[in-house]
Chains A and B, each alone.
Chain A
């Protein structure tokens, strides 16, 4: 029974890690390698238009020279668009829309978006800027949310989320100062290493703590069950049974219950999701459940083995001392 509860908690943890990874992908738009993100807003300072244009050109040159890729996406301000500059050709999804410099060669609608569907069905594109013409449809990165299209790079950079690929912290500082000359202020900047991102995710941390405390409870429960077999241990030891053999036997005798319980817990989670989600589970969902079962089987068997070993050694020491 306790293995079944552990199965449920393992599914919860694996699921929360998947959600965290998904939300990271939403933020990084599948930018490979080291990723830095900024959120930029228009500041209040007066901007000299000529200097802003010059800063824009300098910015382009800097990105090209350093081989830095840049994605700029609206956070809910302005049109639902994305601007990409990829001189280093890091973004495979963007290659179909890119020109020789690494900017988009026109307005490309994201496949599957409302705008792309309406454009294909009736050439209606109510969300495009006035006068813009559609150059084609491009497959978007994993998750672009509600963004509708990718635009060519303009002289003045827009406010929104900036995702940098292949930039060092010195590059990031230089870029921030160039963007500052365009009137953009950095509100938040973040390096996005995977492990740090996961450790900052409240749900991942909470579910991991639940699971750890759950394993402590299960180990306590199991050692109390084992204490009921002390008499058997004494008899076996009197008949010169080796402790290692006993560990192996007790571990193997409890393993089927652990495996069955864990699979039952994972299955119950799947059934509850199916019933409450009111949708058939997808292949990806089954994949997550299988991953949880694998991780859970490994970790739970390990904790069961540790509990049996610790329990037997402790009782053996007491017996010898007695």
Chain B
């Protein structure tokens, strides 16, 4: 059997220019797919998140900040937002500025703060811990020792786990992967206890659900008095184009990558079929001298593996184990599984095609 496998590899190496070219193309396609798959998965979260916000007639804001300093929005404005969150009519998050001046906060792990229980019904897939206050860690932080977190007057152990590949739909950055983040789920009144930079971000990222025009005007006017200018966008009415563009972009990523992989694979499949056609006489002679269908199948498999697996396999294994950006390792694992399936299908069909030409009856 080993001899057959070596023979298959030799068969491939005899056609090294085309084999190397195709292996390089498949390797390139797999690499690009791995790098982009994480991105595509986030984009799919954008599709779902955007649709959910539109169903709830959400109003989001674009913030214009005070020049050269932090805005000074009064407690009354925050109080209004707190009661809206409590009534399930809004939610607020802090993503970028949690304890920005304290690099040791949460043992240096990026932290996202979510206020109120409204998010439980808007994004049930997140499976947030309850009741607030509570803290969760991303799937990639399993097993890591994290000291209890002291934030906005709450002292929280970070024991609960987020589902693997959890992604938060954020209005500003769209899909926010949470695998390497800590998530604090806090009661809305804690908003009054965060520092001014955090308060500014929470107000800017506030999402009001089906508010009336007066509520929006009051919120915008009172924030503007503190030099935080919030331009409201009604997700369902005012900004469908922006969301549609985002969604179309995600859709194009998915179909574009599928199209590219399809082209590379069809080129390879036809090259493999042509090689096998040329090798039919060799296989027939080998069968006459006692080779079983299994021997022929191993030879075909080794030939295909030299092109499909030799370069992309180690590359993807390396990527899937490497400490790379969120999603890329996952993407590499998915692509590895895909390549293995494609290899199995190719092997099966090619071996069957060779057997069909076998004068000894396969």
Contacts and interface: CB of A to CB of B under 8 A. Distances in A.
Given A12-B259, A217-B267, A265-B259, 7 more contacts: A1-B262, A2-B262, A8-B256, A76-B64, A77-B64, A221-B267, A224-B271
Interface string A224-240: 11011000000000000
Contacts of A15: 248-249, 252
A113 B239 CA distance: 11
Interface string B295-319: 0000000000000000000000000
Interface in A1-23: 1-2, 4-9, 11-12, 15-16, 19
Contacts of B244: 277, 279
Given A277-B244, A277-B248, A114 B259 contact: no
Interface string A34-69: 000000001000000000000000000000000000
Contacts of B248: 15, 273, 276-277, 285
Interface in B199-255: 213, 217, 220-221, 224, 229, 231-233, 238, 240, 244-245, 247-252, 254-255
B121 interface: no
Given A80-B64, A210-B260, A227 B274 contact: yes
A320 interface: no
Contact of A217 (B224, B255, B266): B266
Contacts of A118: 213, 217
Contacts of B66: 77-78
Contacts of A148: 231
Contact of A159 (B67, B217, B229, B232): B67
A19 B256 CA distance: 15
Given A77-B65, A278-B247, A221 B252 contact: no
Contacts of B109: none
Interface centre among B220, B247, B252, B273 (most CB of A within 10 A): B252
- CB-based closest 8 A-B pairs: A8-B259, A126-B221, A12-B256, A146-B62, A217-B267, A276-B251, A146-B231, A5-B259
B231 A218 contact: no
Contacts of B213: 118, 121
Given A126-B221, A210-B260, A224-B274, A2 B255 contact: no
B64 A78 contact: yes
Interface of A: 1-2, 4-9, 11-12, 15-16, 19, 42, 74, 76-80, 113-114, 118, 121, 124, 126-127, 145-146, 148, 159, 207, 210, 213-214, 216-218, 220-221, 224-225, 227-228, 265, 268-269, 272-273, 275-279, 285
B47 interface: yes
A282 B68 CA distance: 42
Chain B interface mostly: helix
A180 B47 CA distance: 45
B255 A272 contact: yes
B270 interface: yes
28 contacts: A4-B259, A5-B262, A12-B252, A16-B252, A78-B64, A78-B67, A78-B229, A80-B62, A80-B64, A126-B220, A126-B221, A127-B220, A127-B231, A145-B62, A146-B62, A210-B32, A213-B260, A214-B260, A214-B263, A220-B270, A224-B273, A265-B259, A273-B247, A276-B251, A276-B254, A277-B247, A278-B247, A279-B240
